[in-house]
Structures are given as C-alpha cells and as structure tokens.
C-alpha cells in the first residue's frame, strides 16, 4: 500500500498526501456492531476546557472491537476488511461458524475469505489469537494482554509489531516497538502478525482543514500572546523569556517527564526504552 499525491491545484493539495486503501473491501460498517460516540471537545463535567485545541470534526460511529478473543475452538471467516475512523489500523469483520459476528484488528496478510481461530490449539498464522506461552520465540504479535482475560492493551496502533524474544518460567519477554523489553505472564493472549496500515504515519495533512476534520483546533504560540495570557508572552520580539519553555500554567514542557515512579508494572520492565548515556 502506498500514499498518493495530488496535483498542486491549491496550496493544500500541493503538500497533502492521501491513502489509497486498496485492500479495503467494506464500505459501510455492520450496524449491530456500532454505536454512537459523543465528544467532550476537551471539556469536563462542569463545561470547562481541560484539554485545549479540541472541538468540531466529522461525526463518527464507534466500532465495537473484540480485544479479548475468547471464542476458543470456533472457526471464523473474514467477511470484510474495513476502515475505522477511531483508530489508525484497519479492522476485519469475522463471521463465526455459530453465527456470531465481531470486529478484530486486521493484521497484514489477512484477506477476505481467510479463516482465523483463537485458543491454545490455534495455528501460528496471522489473525489467530492464543496464549503467549504457546507462541514460539521470534514470532511477531500484536494486541497483547497485560493481565490475563483483560483484553489486548499493547500493540494496537497501525503497523505495530511486538516480538516474543524469550521465555522464562511463567513469564514471557516481549520487545516493544519502543525497544523496551517487558515481561508478561504466559497465559496472557496475543494475536499473531503485524498490524495493517503501516503507511499511516507518512500521511501529510497539507492543509488546516484536514486537522479540523479530525477534531483538532488551531494552537496559538505562547510567544505570540500577551504577558497576561502566557509566560512567554510580551516583548517587542518573539522569544522565550529566559529559562526553559513552560505551559501557560508554568509547568515545564518539551521533554519534561510526567511518568510517575513506583508503578507496579515497572518491575516487569527488563530494559527501558531510554538507554543510559555512557
């Protein structure tokens, strides 16, 4: 799959790129697997803006995705591969042998008519879901659980690939796309394969309107504001007034780490994503 460029008939179309989406086969989602989605536009229960630069955008219907894959031993056929406006990866509609229907994240190589299955006896093939203890070392997976039965939490974005690197007792070591190596219990489930739509990260908007369609409102630079509105505001020239850049409320930004130490899951990290400089 590749992205297409348009003729430069306007400044927006000169720089924008669009996806071809040739592998998609479904136009409309299955109505029984969708529901309405209400936006908060960055406002809390009191109506105050707590997350800036959000609002507007095209309406979406939420597709209910089966992240747990607990229908063990029941084969399913891929009916369609569809676009999902709520996530970067494509989704696949499964028709199970018992009549049940569900959406899953579509891995690369999964085509219409293919058969997928879940459970310990499933083959190592794209789209099949089984416990990590049953997956050979070196296999690439996605939609990995952190807690058994919780549903997939790791590896759900477009083009994501998590590699099973080692097994030691009840734990399985995974190499994440960030180069972090993390241990997960062997009974946690994962789906085999790399997720579709890897070219998603190479799409260029080209114009402000495409950001507005995605619920993104314009952002004003702090140096363009007045001193009453932002710590960077004021002055005849646009410059940050000494020190490091901060948010409108004085908190450091651009590299300021917000992750809290002492999380229980930190003990499962074998190698962090940030290597120490020698």
The pLDDT of residue 223 is above 60? yes
| Mean pLDDT value across residues 34-42 | 94
* pLDDT classification of 127: cutoffs 50, 70, 90: very high
Give pLDDT tens digits for 241-259. Answer: 778 899 999 999 888 888 7
Q: What is the mean pLDDT of residues 95-100?
A: 96
pLDDT tens digit sequence for 145-204:
999 999 999 999 999 999 999 999 999 999 999 999 999 999 999 999 999 999 999 999
Residues ≥6 apart with Cβ < 8 Å to 122 = 128, 129, 130
On average, the pLDDT of the chain sits at 92
Strands (E), the chain: 3-5, 17-19, 34-36, 61-63, 76-82, 91-96, 101-105, 115-116, 129-131, 140-142, 144-145, 152-154, 162-168, 171-175, 181-185, 189-192, 269-271
Per the CB < 8 A criterion, the answer to whether 169 and 155 are in contact is no
The H or E element that residue 209 is part of is: helix 208-213
CB 185 within 8 A of CB 221: no
**Given pLDDT bands bounded at 50, 70 and 90, which one contains residue 6?**
very high
At residue 276, the pLDDT reads 59
Closest of 123, 133, 129, 125 to residue 143, by C-alpha? 129
Reported as a single tens digit per residue, the pLDDT across 200-214 is 999 999 999 999 999
Q: What is the pLDDT of residue 264?
A: 74
218 φ/ψ angles, rounded to the nearest 5 degrees: -65, 150
Distance CA 127, CA 36 (A): 27
Q: pLDDT category, 56, cuts 50, 70, 90? A: very high
User: Mean pLDDT throughout 265-274?
Assistant: 83
Identify the residue with better confidence: 1 or 201: 201
In our burial notation (b when 16+ CB lie closer than 10 A, e otherwise), range 183-203 reads bbbbbbbbbbbbbbbbbbeee
Measure the CA–CA gap between 142 and 153, rounded to whole angstroms: 9
- Here the tokens at position 90 are 């494509």
pLDDT at 277: 52
User: pLDDT-based confidence at 99, cuts 50/70/90?
Assistant: very high
pLDDT bucket at 16, cuts 50 / 70 / 90: very high
Q: Tell me which residue of 121, 84, 111, 107 sits closest to 162, measured CA to CA.
A: 107
* pLDDT the model gives residue 159: 95
% of the chain exceeding 70 in pLDDT: 98
Q: Which residue, among 33, 144, 130, has the nearest Cα to 79 in the 3D structure?
A: 33
pLDDT at 26 over 90: no
What is the set of domains in the chain, with CATH numbers?
3-200 (2.40.50.140), 221-278 (4.10.950.10)
The predicted pLDDT at position 1 comes to 58
| Average pLDDT value for residue range 230-243 | 83
| CA 244 to mean position of chain CA atoms | 31
Sign of CA dihedral 54, 55, 59, 63: positive
CA distances (Å), origin 78, targets 23, 29, 106, 107, 228: 13, 14, 10, 12, 57
Q: Positive or negative, the Cα torsion across 50, 205, 10, 224?
A: positive
pTM confidence score: 0.90
**For 39-67, what is the mean pLDDT?**
95
């Amino acid at each position: 799959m590749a992205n297409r460029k348009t003729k430069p008939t306007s400044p927006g179309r000169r720089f924008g790129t669009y996806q071809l989406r040739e592998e998609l086969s479904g136009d409309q989602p299955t109505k029984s697997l969708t529901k309405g989605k209400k936006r908060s536009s960055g406002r809390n229960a009191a109506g105050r803006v707590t997350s800036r630069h959000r609002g507007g955008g095209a309406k979406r219907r939420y597709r209910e995705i089966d992240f747990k894959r607990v229908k063990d031993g029941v084969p399913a056929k891929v009916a369609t591969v569809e676009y999902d406006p709520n996530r970067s990866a494509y989704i696949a509609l499964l028709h199970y042998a018992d009549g049940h229907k569900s959406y899953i994240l579509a891995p690369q190589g999964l085509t219409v008519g293919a058969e997928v299955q879940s459970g310990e006896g499933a083959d190592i093939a794209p789209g099949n879901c089984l416990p990590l203890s049953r997956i050979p070392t070196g296999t690439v997976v996605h939609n990995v659980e952190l807690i058994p039965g919780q549903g997939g939490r790791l590896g759900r974005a477009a083009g994501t690939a998590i590699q099973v690197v080692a097994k030691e007792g009840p734990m399985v070591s995974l190499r994440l796309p960030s180069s972090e190596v993390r241990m997960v219990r062997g009974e946690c489930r994962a789906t085999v394969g790399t997720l579709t739509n890897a070219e998603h990260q190479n799409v260029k908007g080209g114009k402000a309107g495409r950001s507005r369609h995605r619920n993104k409102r314009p952002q004003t630079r702090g140096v363009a504001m007045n001193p009453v509105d932002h710590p960077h505001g004021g002055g005849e020239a646009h410059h940050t007034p000494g020190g490091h850049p901060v948010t409108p409320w004085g908190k450091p930004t651009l590299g300021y780490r917000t992750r809290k130490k002492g999380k229980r899951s930190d003990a499962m990290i074998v190698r962090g994503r940030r290597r120490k400089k020698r």
